[in-house]
Amino acid sequence: MAGHQQEYFDVNRRRSETIEEEYGTSQDGRHFIIINNMEFKKNLRLPSREESEYDKINLKMKLRACGFNVKVHNNKTTTEMKQILKDVSVKTQYKNPVSVFGCALLSYGQNETIYGTDGPIEIQELIELLKGDVCSVLCGKPKLFIIQACPAIKIGVEETDGNTFPKKKKRNLSSLNEKNIPTMADFVYAHSSIPGFMPWGISQNNDNAGSWFIQAIIFVFNKYRNSHDVLTMFTIDDDDDGGGGDNCG
């Protein structure tokens, strides 16, 4: 077992070095945005996501420990969410050139949608704002997305409710046609929305732990921060995920 673990470490270390050489992910240019939606308009009949405060705090602390400049936005409408990502393209927003950019969306959602405080929006619509042909600041740079989308339909919001999910033609993030591949390159996704699971799984030993999904990400960061670069950590499939079980985070 020890030999297998050493081989795994060596392979992933070489992979980390290759990624660092390819992207040059210096800490001065690491930027991360967290959009944390906890309160929603009354007509949506969605409960408050108070537990998400723990996810926001834990994620912000760990990202800063990994060298990211983190900016948090709370309770934003879909229009405001789009504007936040549009603003990334303004070169004067950052003192140093961006080497890696990340965004965490913490809200209700399902599959291809995420909720602003006023209703849902397609995740693809947000991601497209950061494509290389739209946002030149991030062209050729790694872009990380953490999508913590708890399924609202599982906690009392009926599928027939008005404005529950967009009626647009659905677009799958993984089914991009060939002409879109260059502009959608360098994206890495971590998505929590799994049909059939409850939105919160609070640790019995720590009431302030937050969702299982974010706990699992924090666990990987804690375990591999000193041996792996941040991009590789986002692709690690660790058998020991910190005790998350099957709960949707």
pLDDT in tens, 173-205: 343 343 443 455 688 878 875 543 444 444 334
CA angle 63–68–74, rounded 5-degree value: 65
The answer to whether the predicted template modeling score (pTM) of the entire model surpasses 0.85 is no
Torsional sign, CA 208, 212, 218, 223? positive
Residue 35: phi, psi to the nearest 5?
A: -110, 110
- Domain of 144, in residue numbers: 25-233
| Residue 117 included in any domain | yes
Instruction: Supply the CATH number for residue 69's domain.
Output: 3.40.50.1460
In a domain, 85, yes or no: yes
11 within domain boundaries: no
Q: Report how many domains make up the chain.
A: 1
In a domain, 245, yes or no: no
Q: What's residue 234's pLDDT?
A: 67
In a domain, 178, yes or no: yes
Q: How confident is the model at residue 18 (pLDDT cuts 50, 70, 90)?
A: very low
**Buried-exposed string 157-193: b where 16+ CB fall within 10 A, e elsewhere:** beeeeeebbeeeeeeebeeeeeeeeebbebbeebbbb
pLDDT band (50, 70, 90) for residue 97: confident
Model confidence pLDDT, tens digit, residues 134-150 = 888 888 888 889 999 88
Residue 244 lies in a domain: no
**Residue bearing the bigger pLDDT, 181 or 28:** 28
**Residue at 186 is within a domain:** yes
Q: Is residue 249 part of a domain?
A: no
